[in-house]
Amino acid sequence: MSSEGVIEGWVSNVKILGKIAFIEVIDGLNLSPITVVVRKDSGSVDWSKVSAVKLGSAIRVKGVYPEKVVSKKGREIHADEIEILAEPRDLPPIDVTGKTPASFEDYINYRYLALRLPRVRAAFLARSLIVNEIRSFFSERGFLEVHTPKIVKAGAEGGATLFEVDYFGVKAYLAQSPQLYKQMLMCGVPRVFEIGPFFRAEKFSTTRHLNESWGLDVEMGFIKGMEDVLEVLSQLVVHLSHKLNERLGDALRGLGYNVIKPVTSVRVLTYDEALEVLNSLGFNLKWGEDFDPKAEKSLGDYLEEKGVQAYFIVDYPWESKPFYIMKKDEKRGYAFDLDIRGIEVASGGQREHRYEVLRQNLLEKGLNPEDFSFYLEAFKYGMPPHGGFGLGIDRLVMTFLGVQNIRETVLFPRDRFRLVP
């Protein structure tokens, strides 16, 4: 049965063959254009208007969805009425037909235009889907969604990678992470999560770092050990990889993305095991050393060949981890990273919840407990054992889509050299 309808979107192609016009329009949040068919003879649409439709215009079409679709692109509407809502005044700086690729920089500079191209659009549909699924995952499991401050007096890691803010004449910083706040909350609610931006003033210029990112932070009280945290994060990765495949897998693959396969379980390696694998691959790493991106990548490739795309590395040397990580023994901490396809996506662990030990940890890291007094205070009044993780949403989307540059997953990325748009 044919039925009436309205579509709204941008003209991505126009072909006029004699007395028929085929206007391709990218409408709604679709990943392929709909073909608007107009017949000169039908008399319902002003033909002079149709033949003058400009590429890139915003239009509204009223018409009929035919019973049988002729166009190869799969969706079609036969126009009864066409309304031009806005025309480009200049030639678009990106080819909106998608035939001529633009530069990587222009896809960022003109992101709003690039979003009409199915490949770019698909990445942000995937991101929106993932964020939405993260939220329902935690809401359904009884986690309280919280918002912690982004302007803070002390950094979580006390490092030098903080952006300074002048807060009414007082020196403040942009939050590197909700770490201290989500831990403090463990003294009053059992489980929290937050989705929000975080800021790191690192002078990196890589394909996997940005200076402003969005993260998921999770903290769980009353845990029996780090395993409780691994279990939740593992379930999350399984859930998200399945949802992405189910909802957008085919479309993304059709657009050239090397999408992650549905993860059935997240492999667990100890730091010692990972070290052994790396050294067997020709690295010459000593116990205690952190893995650099090159080592992470090699380990990722090695495991991907074995069909493992997502894995935990657990029991890191305590020395390489932050003060709030609980020690497992003299050398190791209850700390883990989640790596996906050779890239670190999340890190977490069990936290030190005992006031005196935590204070001692700060001193061992060369930090001044005085600077953390507002945080330490929360550990005095019945702080239960707890643990959690921080996960980079940009990186998660990046590894799930199999793209090489984190900038493909962020609408308006911020790096050392990019503050506009």
Query: Catalytic site residue 347?
Result: yes
Query: Catalytic site residue 344?
Result: yes
Residue 409 DSSP SS3: helix
Residue 30 DSSP SS3: coil
Query: Catalytic site residue 116?
Result: no
Q: How far is the CB of 49 from a copy of itself (least distance, A)?
A: 16
**Pick from 128, 258, 264, 404: which binds a copy of itself (CB under 8 A)?**
128
Nearer to a copy of itself, 295 or 407 (CB): 407
Query: Catalytic site residue 239?
Result: no
Q: Tell whether residue 288 is a contact of a copy of itself (CB under 8 A).
A: no
d(CA 275, CA 281): 10
Query: Catalytic site residue 395?
Result: yes
Q: How far is the CB of 165 from a copy of itself (least distance, A)?
A: 5
Q: Tell whether residue 85 is a contact of a copy of itself (CB under 8 A).
A: yes
Query: Catalytic site residue 147?
Result: no
**Pick from 36, 102, 184, 299: which binds a copy of itself (CB under 8 A)?**
184
Phi-psi region of 338 (alpha: psi -120 to 50; beta: other; left: phi over 0): beta
CA 400-103-106 angle, to 5 degrees, is 90
Amino acid at the residue 319: E
Q: Tell whether residue 104 is a contact of a copy of itself (CB under 8 A).
A: no
CA dihedral (41, 46, 47, 53) in degrees, to 10, reads: -140
**Pick from 39, 62, 65, 87: which binds a copy of itself (CB under 8 A)?**
87
Q: Tell whether residue 308 is a contact of a copy of itself (CB under 8 A).
A: no
Chain centroid to CA 344: 13
State which of positions 148-177 bind a copy of itself (CB under 8 A): 148-153, 163-168, 170, 172, 174
Q: For residue 388, what are its two tokens?
A: 């959690």
Q: How far is the CB of 116 from a copy of itself (least distance, A)?
A: 5
**Pick from 66, 196, 317, 402: which binds a copy of itself (CB under 8 A)?**
196
**Pick from 2, 103, 136, 368: which binds a copy of itself (CB under 8 A)?**
136
Which region, judged by CB under 8 A, interacts with a copy of itself, from 189-197, 261-269, 303-311, 361-369?
Answer: 189-197
Q: How far is the CB of 174 from a copy of itself (least distance, A)?
A: 7
Q: Pick the catalytic residue: 209, 341, 353, 407? A: 209
d(CA 221, CA 180): 14
**Pick from 22, 47, 283, 412: which binds a copy of itself (CB under 8 A)?**
412
Q: How far is the CB of 141 from a copy of itself (least distance, A)?
A: 11
Sheet holding 386-392, edge to edge: 144-145, 191-199, 212-221, 386-392, 343-350, 335-340, 310-314, 267-270
Count of beta carbons in the 10 Å neighbourhood of residue 265: 12
Q: For residue 188, what are its two tokens?
A: 């009053």
| Beta-bridge partner residues of 198 | 213
Q: Tell whether residue 1 is a contact of a copy of itself (CB under 8 A).
A: no
DSSP string covering 21-85 = EEEEEEETT-SSPEEEEEEGGG-SS-HHHHHTPPTT-EEEEEEEE-SS--STTS-EEEEEEEEEE
Q: Pick the catalytic residue: 200, 353, 386, 407? A: 200
**Pick from 231, 246, 301, 377: which binds a copy of itself (CB under 8 A)?**
377
Query: Catalytic site residue 202?
Result: yes
Q: Tell whether residue 16 is a contact of a copy of itself (CB under 8 A).
A: no
Checking 105-109 for CB contacts under 8 A at 24+ apart, the result is 108/407, 108/412, 108/413, 108/418, 109/421
Name the one residue in this structure whose structure tokens are 């039925």: 3
d(CA 155, CA 373): 13
Nearer to a copy of itself, 209 or 291 (CB): 209
Positions marked active-site = 200, 202, 208-209, 344, 347, 395
